[in-house]
Structure 1
């Protein structure tokens, strides 16, 4: 008996050790969640109907008496919201919107924006959700992409929209929409006022004459959501109805306990609706659950929890940078005076993650790894005090070798070519070992429902990998480096190439460099992202080479004048505020880059901003004054300690 007991104990210990080291139970739990979701998805599609797998159908099927939308103290239930949406749809018909159109939507977070998205879907059209921080040249590009004959805008942005429309074509109408979220304004320049028309609200009775929503499929375009990509101007992700349905199907975590999570579901987001996180996880998911989408006009760290408390949110959405700003505020009366059960989002670092849960009593974090156009997915449902903080998910032996095999992988990456490594004999990609950062990729099953880049075949093709693990297969590149750590947890490492993330936005270093290089007096420029210890993401850093001949010839473009104008010059060219470099070094000689431009990038990445190296003169961006100032030890100390408002 003693021998049997000892053997049993030894076997149990061995199983516990195997489970701990191989992560079997974690993999099985994730498999169960995925299998449950997969089983429910066809039922969800069947409920919507074969010809109506879209957002407006979700609005029609929602509980008419349930709260649908909250904004600054005002609430609409689904019956009232549908009535408002249908009225807008009639007005859009009067403006000439037709089935299949893609219409530019340039709006601030507001009920106006939410209603517009639904109304366009009702007509079989799709919104092109343009980043409202864009101006001038970049804004023109984003309006031009969908070939829209309308720009639907809110009063606060109408002047910028009208200016863009006028620059492109006299036939593009700028339509200003206000259902009470904006105070009347008389500040529109007279030169543009005649180019702006107010939305033609119809008589409510006319909604009964609305035509039926045109038949749509999973492959039909639901929306354009813009992303910076890795180079050049913003690209438009052509989001299909398939993706809208995927993100709207009830998650297994919610389906397992609907009484806790869904009765009611009230999701708050003050991040832009034109972002995938808010659009998918806020607007779309709420509609499918008859939940209330609580919209914040804009982010305010000081008022975040106050508004969360006022709207009675049970869930908040985040990006990592937003959470760090909230933590930097002084303790307040609303820190724990809320009903939040779940915080969901992406990009949360471990130190911020733990402190956020502890200070604000948020028991559950749902960190997800996704991108608007991306197929790779990881999820980390994390409860306070448990392992996994700061990680995007878990991948044990079963998941890596069985469950995920053939669908997604982390493959070895060549930093010189910025491409996945290929096996010399087979020519196929090689799965990265534990502890080795690699690019996350996912297999494409159906190109018809794939999120391509609208009107940009080359950019779409550049995201594809062919003959990855077998001849003829097609996979999608994520553009991100992830690593499976020795304990099985998966961690985000970095963006690949010229794109870096700052203030919750992907910034194209190539685009910013292009704008700087076009300025008078600039001989060359290099832009890269650089990690700063106390800040999330990577701050934009630039090395600018000025043409010394200009100053010698008395053109007036001295370094002092140039740096004094730089911020406003870049903003005037359409560079968003978040993309303007935070640190700048100025030289009057080109950097010895060797054989490749990458060497110049490395020079900038390795600048000793604290020291007195002789490479050039250093500046930092004072956002309050909106101009660059010379960087001295005191300023740099403030940045190192995280006190500078970058």
Structure 2
């Protein structure tokens, strides 16, 4: 590793000579941004100057102006933080930049710097809602929140507690060639089907086989669009208007994200790796990532939905849901890593009663793991890969483990003897 700050101090303060950038075009690489690595190793996505400009114009589409004060506490090495940063440059607005997110200092900072626009991602809003309530919760000038990944229940709680703030939910990925925005403010949606947008940048939600981990194709070998209300894989056509550059020096991973002969011979689409669905009013909702959704008892289980249900329990602070392999069983059984609220014990009977009330039998976590903290990425996305690999082995995991007991209607401690009985098939899941 080489230092960078000392080289910056030695650099000339004179404008960069024109000849240095004479060969730079809109499609030239501008930056490398590493993906989160939630379902594998991070990869360096190539962002062109054109893409960087497009990201920088997002704030203008929502009405952010030069008079706004934008509050940012996300890492600048990731797309969301960089987009917010370059957007304030494009707008000419003021940026209040914090080195690290702090839920306890968030609103104090907003009041101190007269913040009018905030940026969020993943669990940011839920962290804010979990702080102790104060009389000053609505005493601020924030009028707008821009970001992605807020759940519908947290969205409502955030507005009820902190006042009327216009939430602009986005959908997109670092390397992707498609972006959606909830311009109507519909709680829970990431966008709405817009004829002009779809005509200009064609995309579709297609049927997807969770078990085989591939799109469903008809007798002619072409993909089939998902029905209204049916979750499917979001794909976006690769074209000159919507190019897919891929990953730096990694053609194999780049090709993995391309789908060929989707609707006609020779066409190409970008595989977002995300499952979304459209309601009868044409609003679009995010359901889960392909790697996160799993199949159990012949049914598809969306980890986000199970997490949402678990975190509505008063004692549960965070929930990270995933599927684990069980010897001799088809598919993967649901497991949840939980972080409890400070001072709260795990209530096995209450948790059983809660999941039984709100979740069908196949979606109820068969195993629960209690952790002091859940591992997240720099942008607050839960990491699952290691948890999936570790499974539910009591002799290898120091955290408390529980198993769902249908007979006693409770989650009971998972012992080594019980684990052996599950593996041998004596205990039926």
Q: Same fold (TM over 0.5)?
A: yes
TM normalised by structure 2 equals 0.70
Task: Name the counterpart of 1:211.
Answer: 17
- Residues 227-268 of structure 1: CA distance to partner in whole angstroms, max 9, x if unpaired? 14575421111111111011123656446xxxxx31413221
**How far 1:591 moved relative to its partner?**
4.0
The CA distance in 1 between the partners of 2:237 and 2:248, in whole Å, is 20
Q: Does the CA-based 8 Å contact 2:210-2:293 persist in structure 1?
A: no
Q: Does the CA-based 8 Å contact 2:321-2:335 persist in structure 1?
A: no
**How far 1:631 moved relative to its partner?**
4.5
**How far 1:630 moved relative to its partner?**
2.6
Q: Does the CA-based 8 Å contact 1:622-1:628 persist in structure 2?
A: no
Q: Relative to structure 1, is the Cα distance of residues 455 and 362 closer, same or farther in structure 2, using a 3 angstrom cutoff?
A: farther
| Corresponding position: 1:328 with 2:130 | yes
Which residue of 11, 33, 36 corresponds with 1:225?
A: 33
Q: Relative to structure 1, is the Cα distance of residues 209 and 322 closer, same or farther in structure 2, using a 3 angstrom cutoff?
A: closer
Unmatched runs of 5 consecutive residues or more in structure 1: 1-164, 166-172, 178-197, 256-260, 501-527, 544-589, 638-646
* 1:127-146 matched pairs, under 5 angstroms: none
Q: Relative to structure 1, is the Cα distance of residues 463 and 541 closer, same or farther in structure 2, using a 3 angstrom cutoff?
A: closer
Q: Does the CA-based 8 Å contact 1:620-1:630 persist in structure 2?
A: yes
Q: Does the CA-based 8 Å contact 1:265-1:289 persist in structure 2?
A: no
Report which of the two structures shows the higher radius of gyration computed on alpha carbons.
1
Task: Name the counterpart of 2:271.
Answer: 477
Which residue of 86, 104, 120 corresponds with 1:302?
A: 104
Q: Does the CA-based 8 Å contact 1:226-1:237 persist in structure 2?
A: yes
CA RMSD of aligned residues (A): 3.7
Q: Does the CA-based 8 Å contact 2:337-2:368 persist in structure 1?
A: no
Which residue of 522, 531, 534 corresponds with 2:307?
A: 531
Task: Name the counterpart of 1:389.
Answer: 187
Task: Name the counterpart of 1:603.
Answer: 333
Task: Name the counterpart of 1:265.
Answer: 68
Unmatched runs of 5 consecutive residues or more in structure 2: 295-302, 339-345, 353-365, 375-396, 404-409, 412-429
Q: Relative to structure 1, is the Cα distance of residues 499 and 542 closer, same or farther in structure 2, using a 3 angstrom cutoff?
A: closer
Task: Name the counterpart of 1:592.
Answer: 327
Number of equivalent positions = 345
- Residues 394-442 of structure 1: CA distance to partner in whole angstroms, max 9, x if unpaired? 22xx73xx75157111111111221221121x32211111011001111
**How far 1:225 moved relative to its partner?**
1.1
The CA distance in 1 between the partners of 2:221 and 2:317, in whole Å, is 37
The CA distance in 2 between the partners of 1:536 and 1:468, in whole Å, is 42
- Residues 357-389 of structure 1: CA distance to partner in whole angstroms, max 9, x if unpaired? 222124311001111112232211345xxxx20
Task: Name the counterpart of 1:174.
Answer: 3
**How far 1:531 moved relative to its partner?**
2.7
User: Which segment is superposed worse, 316-325 or 438-447?
Assistant: 438-447
- Residues 484-509 of structure 1: CA distance to partner in whole angstroms, max 9, x if unpaired? 12332211110002599xxxxxxxxx
Secondary structure class of the residue paired with 1:453: coil
The CA distance in 2 between the partners of 1:632 and 1:229, in whole Å, is 28
Task: Name the counterpart of 1:438.
Answer: 232
Secondary structure class of the residue paired with 1:174: coil
* 1:164-563 matched pairs, under 5 angstroms: 165=1, 173-175=2-4, 177=5, 198-199=6-7, 201-202=9-10, 206-208=12-14, 210-212=16-18, 213-215=20-22, 216-228=24-36, 232-249=40-57, 253-254=61-62, 261-280=64-83, 282-332=84-134, 334-383=136-185, 388-395=186-193, 399=195, 404-405=198-199, 407-424=202-219, 426-446=220-240, 450-497=244-291, 531=307, 533-534=310-311, 539=320
The CA distance in 2 between the partners of 1:448 and 1:381, in whole Å, is 21
| Corresponding position: 1:630 with 2:400 | yes
Secondary structure class of the residue paired with 2:233: strand
The CA distance in 2 between the partners of 1:394 and 1:222, in whole Å, is 30
Secondary structure class of the residue paired with 2:3: strand
**How far 1:593 moved relative to its partner?**
4.2
Q: Does the CA-based 8 Å contact 2:334-2:367 persist in structure 1?
A: no
**How far 1:211 moved relative to its partner?**
3.1
Q: Relative to structure 1, is the Cα distance of residues 349 and 623 closer, same or farther in structure 2, using a 3 angstrom cutoff?
A: closer
- Residues 280-333 of structure 1: CA distance to partner in whole angstroms, max 9, x if unpaired? 1x1111111112222111111111111122222211011241101101112235
Task: Name the counterpart of 1:563.
Answer: none
The CA distance in 1 between the partners of 2:31 and 2:317, in whole Å, is 29
Secondary structure class of the residue paired with 2:146: strand
Q: Does the CA-based 8 Å contact 1:342-1:364 persist in structure 2?
A: yes
The CA distance in 2 between the partners of 1:464 and 1:236, in whole Å, is 17
The CA distance in 1 between the partners of 2:293 and 2:21, in whole Å, is 39
The CA distance in 1 between the partners of 2:72 and 2:121, in whole Å, is 10
Q: Relative to structure 1, is the Cα distance of residues 322 and 250 closer, same or farther in structure 2, using a 3 angstrom cutoff?
A: closer
Q: Relative to structure 1, is the Cα distance of residues 487 and 278 closer, same or farther in structure 2, using a 3 angstrom cutoff?
A: same
The CA distance in 2 between the partners of 1:470 and 1:538, in whole Å, is 42
Q: Does the CA-based 8 Å contact 2:59-2:87 persist in structure 1?
A: no
* 1:16-95 matched pairs, under 5 angstroms: none
- Residues 464-516 of structure 1: CA distance to partner in whole angstroms, max 9, x if unpaired? 0111122211110110000112332211110002599xxxxxxxxxxxxxxxx
Q: Relative to structure 1, is the Cα distance of residues 253 and 238 closer, same or farther in structure 2, using a 3 angstrom cutoff?
A: closer
The CA distance in 1 between the partners of 2:47 and 2:367, in whole Å, is 45
**How far 1:354 moved relative to its partner?**
1.5
The CA distance in 2 between the partners of 1:463 and 1:218, in whole Å, is 23
Higher normalized helix content (fraction of residues): 1
